[in-house]
Chains A and B, each alone.
Chain A
């Protein structure tokens, strides 16, 4: 067995703060939409706006971290083992087949994860941040640029569809954490930062 450090401290703080903020944004966002009543409308609006600002600041730090540590390379899409990964989730996983991709410190994400997280980072989050900002500043834009009420409707629809996309992502994401060595192995790794992997060279 070898202990592999996958998630340094900042990585974990960023991940879990982001998880918490996104959960709060979903809960309060759906209250603003009128789906349910949890916090009270004004508190929901304020929490939503507050956690949105917090999330943006967190993301700025994360971008800095990714760039300075070179961690951004982990998200470069690759075709290597892509088919094997798809095959693993469709058939192999039911036959107790070994995971086709071995985690390494500099390549901790499998090709499917790379695609999913890259999509999350460059598509869902930017769309939500942009439409959220436009939504918040709509009264100013309406005033200054004469934007029509249809514009707000359009912004809101995109923002809401993005939010539903996030919920779907979250469900898939949480489920896939159970596909590690044991159902909780990946979750544990994200908490403590390291994972014990069977040591191939130990047999020598």
Chain B
């Protein structure tokens, strides 16, 4: 007769059961494993609210100032500046101390990193080969035509390009205002820089809209939230200066140097380093999941939160082939366009490739891009990377960052092993490439203007330029899923120096493991079959 053991008598049993079940449910499950709590209300502000606040903080109505009534002569920017300086007496001096004015940045104690120097890029190449007048359309100053520009004349500082709020202001060659601009009207309505002011130059880098950066173009002005969660008016409605905060006209920004969140010291006294990094607003632990937050040690926020660049209507330039430039039809330059109207060939620039929704390339980056100047010898490796990024897994300052890799061909001096500065922008007969269509002559002329040594012989070379991607942050719903990187042949397939779960699945370990599982299964199956067969034969006998 079965007699229940006293150890499992019903009342005790029930009590124990309740106790143990209770314990199981009380197990400390990490917060990450719990269902996400109701989402944080999105949008910490709105465009309307932010701009109402900005308007409220203004203490001066500039239309009330007599000196701004004008009239100003058409295109006489310096006269407007003189008017501004009667009250803002120190403003021009402040601007003159910034890289927006000098276009020259010292890096590692070395001069010559900046647009007005011997720095070379992958697009229009360089300014110093006689291209000043065209390129300085964007300089925050008036009359920058050539090397003779007087960097110390206060009235040459262009106040309006940054402070115009009407949208009517426009710069022309050498940075002079378009003669059609109603200067008095613009001067009376000045205010804090908005997206449009910064965008007037920074959206158009590389000579045209969307060309250079890949994450900055004028579609941001009317962007849906999905294109740029910060700058979209449907999103936070932020202006550039909300992050790139300034101090005495010094605008915070990486500027060939180290990005803000990698820098220990401010670039200038008062620079708001914190405001330019994601963590300033979002903290360094913004996710509910501890595991996700820990990625911050080695992965830039941008890597997951900018799934693709050039997400607006405009494609960005990804290939620029100077080697094929200069072909003429009946002695005239021409253009070929694709179905969307983007140039696939222009005599001025050569073959070009334009792309939208581009998946970034990912590399280790500690904030240090090593730029190449006309005076620097080229490395032996090909293609030449104009600005290789520093960093590796073992570098505590490095993170995996998204980049736009821009490819190009450009002329170089194979004898001196240096890049060259062709004179591109000038009329026929000047020796400029876009006038006379002779690269040999253009390089000679450009190097002469730049006062740099040239062997007299040029060839084309393949060059790559790296552009860190940091704008066009997508809404969180569009952040990369884990599997985009944690899988074989995922986005981080080529990023080296570390073991990553989901990507680095060794075939040897798999063979060993599955071999053991297979062996056990076979042994069990054979044993089982023998048991069935033997029991049957015994049953029959």
Whether A associates with B in a native complex is yes
Q: Select which of B30, B501, B531 is within 8 A of A53 by beta carbon.
A: B30
A129-147 contacts to B (CB < 8 Å): 139, 143
Q: How long is the Cα–Cα vector from A149 to B497 in the complex, in angstroms?
A: 7
Whether B535 and A157, one on each chain, are in contact in the complex, defined by CB atoms closer than 8 angstroms, is no
Whether A42 and B289, one on each chain, are in contact in the complex, defined by CB atoms closer than 8 angstroms, is yes
Most buried by B among A41, A54, A93, A152: A41
Q: How long is the Cα–Cα vector from A89 to B16 in the complex, in angstroms?
A: 38
Report how many residues on chain A are interfacial, defined by Cβ distance under 8 Å. Answer: 53
Whether A157 and B509, one on each chain, are in contact in the complex, defined by CB atoms closer than 8 angstroms, is yes
Cβ-based interface call for B93 (8 A): no
- What is the CB-to-nearest-CB distance from A36 to chain B, in angstroms, rounded to a whole number? 11
- Of all chain A residues, which has the CB nearest B490? A34
Cβ-based interface call for B381 (8 A): no
- What is the CB-to-nearest-CB distance from A18 to chain B, in angstroms, rounded to a whole number? 11
Q: Select which of B16, B502, B519 is within 8 A of A32 by beta carbon.
A: B502
Q: How long is the Cα–Cα vector from A156 to B531 in the complex, in angstroms?
A: 39
Q: Select which of A41, A58, A157, A161 is within 8 A of B482 by beta carbon.
A: A41
Whether B514 and A164, one on each chain, are in contact in the complex, defined by CB atoms closer than 8 angstroms, is yes
- Of all chain B residues, which has the CB nearest A45? B291
Whether B8 and A50, one on each chain, are in contact in the complex, defined by CB atoms closer than 8 angstroms, is no
The interface residues of chain B lying within 8 Å CB-to-CB of A204 are: none
The interface residues of chain A lying within 8 Å CB-to-CB of B506 are: 157
Q: How long is the Cα–Cα vector from A34 to B298 in the complex, in angstroms?
A: 21
Q: How large is the interface on B (under 10, 10 to 19, 20 to 34, 35 or more residues)?
A: 35 or more
A51-109 contacts to B (CB < 8 Å): 53-54, 57-58, 61, 89, 93-96
Whether B504 and A161, one on each chain, are in contact in the complex, defined by CB atoms closer than 8 angstroms, is no
- What is the CB-to-nearest-CB distance from B31 to chain A, in angstroms, rounded to a whole number? 9
A50 and B501 in contact, given A34-B486, A42-B289, A61-B23 (Cβ under 8 angstroms): no
Residue contacts A-B, CB under 8 angstroms, 19 given: A3-B2, A5-B7, A9-B20, A13-B17, A32-B501, A33-B505, A37-B483, A40-B483, A41-B502, A42-B481, A45-B291, A53-B29, A94-B530, A149-B498, A150-B499, A160-B513, A167-B513, A175-B528, A179-B531
New A-B pairs, 17, CB < 8 Å, besides A46-B291, A160-B513:
A5-B8, A10-B20, A33-B505, A40-B482, A41-B502, A42-B289, A49-B30, A49-B32, A53-B27, A54-B24, A96-B535, A165-B516, A167-B513, A168-B519, A171-B521, A171-B524, A175-B528
**Measuring CB to CB, which residues of chain B are less than 8 angstroms from any residue of chain A?**
2-3, 5, 7-8, 13, 16-17, 20-21, 23-24, 27-30, 32-33, 289, 291-292, 294, 297-298, 393-394, 481-483, 486-488, 497-499, 501-506, 509, 512-514, 516-517, 519-521, 523-524, 527-528, 530-531, 534-535, 538
**Measuring CB to CB, which residues of chain A are less than 8 angstroms from any residue of chain B?**
3, 5, 8-10, 13, 17, 32-35, 37, 40-42, 45-47, 49-50, 53-54, 57-58, 61, 89, 93-96, 139, 143, 148-150, 152-153, 156-157, 160-161, 163-165, 167-168, 171-172, 175, 178-179, 193-194
